[in-house]
């Protein structure tokens, strides 16, 4: 009996680890081989360990190691005295073949664990895919907003650049020795319109600022005229898209001098301009309004 008890000790150790699923692959295979040739006593030990481990009260305590749990399982086995008494009143031994249902149950449990693990991975993959979709949409929305902000900033930069260019052109003209500014008023057809001509007669160039002029039709343009010796001379054409302030620069204007120029005028003409005014006059400014030439 003592020899049998000594022989069962290694079996107990492996059996406890097997029941608690704490064996590595090699140990598990070794124990399953031992279980195939187990004695009646070893089969009883295996059944008792499984019964104890499956009790709701037998759970792993926080911080408890696997080795400690195995020892606790072994210590809860019935003592040898209880085993001896049980052997006297025990019913005939159950053939090892009765364990086959349990073996099949173990296989079912392993299959269930694999299914649970597969389900967990599927759920994780679905959650990860959803998170990736949300992240992609967030990045797309951020990229769209950033692009809009960049476009707005580029438009502001373009507007500021144009304003700076206009100011530089005004300064360049104002630096000339002989500069006049002529104020232009709206006429009956458009009394709310007004404008300014900053005129550098020495270099034959001018800046025109207009406001509150109607937008030009597709087949029309405004034309600036220099009135000299009571005769209109074309200085160039321009188009207006809206009624806000607009600046236009005129280079290589007609040879007009202070002593011969009396006024500036703006008329609406066919696209490309005309040799002589044919349309309605929208703005007019006389030199004598600003103390210009005689």
- Encode pLDDT of 51-101 as tens digits: 988 888 888 888 888 888 888 888 888 765 555 554 444 444 444 444 444
Cα torsion 11, 13, 19, 25: sign: negative
Rounded alpha-carbon distances, angstroms, from residue 211 to 23, 241, 244: 92, 11, 5
Asked if residue 9 belongs to a domain, the reply is: yes
**Same structural domain for residues 83 and 9?**
yes
pLDDT tops 60 at residue 112: yes
Asked if residue 108 belongs to a domain, the reply is: no
Q: Residue 272 is part of a domain; what is its CATH number?
A: 2.60.40
Chain CA centroid to CA 71, Å: 56
CA distance 204 to 284: 19
Of the candidates 260, 70, 41, 292, the one whose C-alpha atom is nearest the C-alpha of residue 183 is: 292
pLDDT tops 50 at residue 290: no
Asked if residue 102 belongs to a domain, the reply is: no
Cα radius of gyration (the chain): 52
Asked if residue 23 belongs to a domain, the reply is: yes
Q: Considering only 156-165, 197-206, 208-217, 239-248, which range has the smallest mean pLDDT? A: 156-165
Asked if residue 39 belongs to a domain, the reply is: yes
Asked if residue 101 belongs to a domain, the reply is: no
* Residue-range definition of the domain harbouring residue 46: 2-91
pLDDT tops 60 at residue 277: yes
Task: Give the model's confidence band at 294: pLDDT under 50 very low, under 70 low, under 90 confident, else very high.
Answer: very low
CA distance 215 to 200: 27
More confident call, 154 vs 158: 154
More confident call, 211 vs 251: 211
More confident call, 268 vs 141: 268
**Same structural domain for residues 149 and 185?**
no
Q: Considering only 13-17, 206-210, 251-255, 289-293, which range has the smallest mean pLDDT? A: 289-293
Of the candidates 251, 76, 266, 269, the one whose C-alpha atom is nearest the C-alpha of residue 187 is: 266
Report the chain's terminal Cα–Cα distance, integer Å: 143
The residue from 175, 194, 226 where one domain ends is 175
How many structural domains compose the chain?
3
CA distance 63 to 82: 32
What pLDDT does residue 92 have? 47
Q: How many residues does the chain have?
A: 294
- Encode pLDDT of 218-243 as tens digits: 999 999 999 988 899 999 999 998 76
Enter the tokens of residue 154.
Answer: 């580029």
Asked if residue 110 belongs to a domain, the reply is: no
Q: Which residues contact 183 (CB under 8 A, 6 or more apart)?
A: 194, 195, 196, 285, 289, 290
Range ranked top by mean pLDDT from 11-15, 78-82, 88-92, 195-199: 195-199
**Same structural domain for residues 125 and 195?**
no
The residue from 56, 91, 126 where one domain ends is 91
Chain CA centroid to CA 98, Å: 64
What pLDDT does residue 98 have? 44
**Same structural domain for residues 70 and 131?**
no
Of the candidates 277, 294, 219, 216, the one whose C-alpha atom is nearest the C-alpha of residue 248 is: 216
Its pTM stands at 0.44
What pLDDT does residue 106 have? 59
Chain CA centroid to CA 46, Å: 60
**Same structural domain for residues 271 and 195?**
yes
Helices (H), ranges, 175-225: none
The residue from 143, 158, 175 where one domain ends is 175
């Amino acid at each position: 009996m003592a020899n049998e008890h000594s022989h069962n000790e290694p079996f107990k150790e492996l059996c406890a680890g097997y029941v608690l699923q704490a064996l590595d692959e090699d140990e598990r295979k070794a124990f399953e081989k031992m279980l195939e040739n187990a004695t009646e006593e070893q089969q009883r030990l295996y059944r008792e360990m499984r019964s104890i481990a499956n009790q709701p009260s037998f759970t792993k305590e926080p911080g408890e190691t696997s080795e400690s749990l195995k020892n606790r399982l072994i210590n809860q086995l019935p003592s040898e005295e209880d085993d001896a008494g049980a052997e006297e009143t025990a019913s005939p031994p159950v053939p090892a073949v009765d364990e086959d249902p349990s073996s099949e149950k173990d296989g079912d449990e392993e299959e269930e664990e694999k299914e649970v693990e597969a389900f967990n991975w599927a759920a994780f993959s679905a959650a990860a895919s959803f998170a990736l979709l949300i992240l992609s949409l967030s990045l797309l929305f951020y990229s769209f907003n950033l692009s809009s902000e960049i476009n707005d900033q580029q438009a502001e930069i373009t507007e500021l650049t144009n304003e700076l260019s206009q100011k530089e052109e005004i300064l360049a003209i104002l630096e000339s020795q002989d500069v006049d500014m002529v104020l232009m008023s709206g006429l009956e057809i458009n009394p709310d319109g007004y404008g300014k001509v900053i005129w550098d007669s020495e270099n034959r160039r001018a800046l025109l600022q207009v406001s509150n002029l109607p937008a030009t039709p597709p087949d029309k343009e405004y034309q600036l005229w220099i009135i000299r010796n009571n005769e209109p001379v074309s200085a160039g054409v321009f188009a207006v898209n809206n009624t806000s302030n607009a600046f236009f620069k005129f280079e290589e204007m007609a040879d007009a001098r202070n002593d011969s120029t009396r006024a500036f005028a703006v008329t609406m003409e066919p696209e490309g301009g005309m040799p002589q005014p044919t349309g309605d006059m929208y703005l007019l400014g006389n030199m004598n309004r600003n103390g210009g030439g005689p």
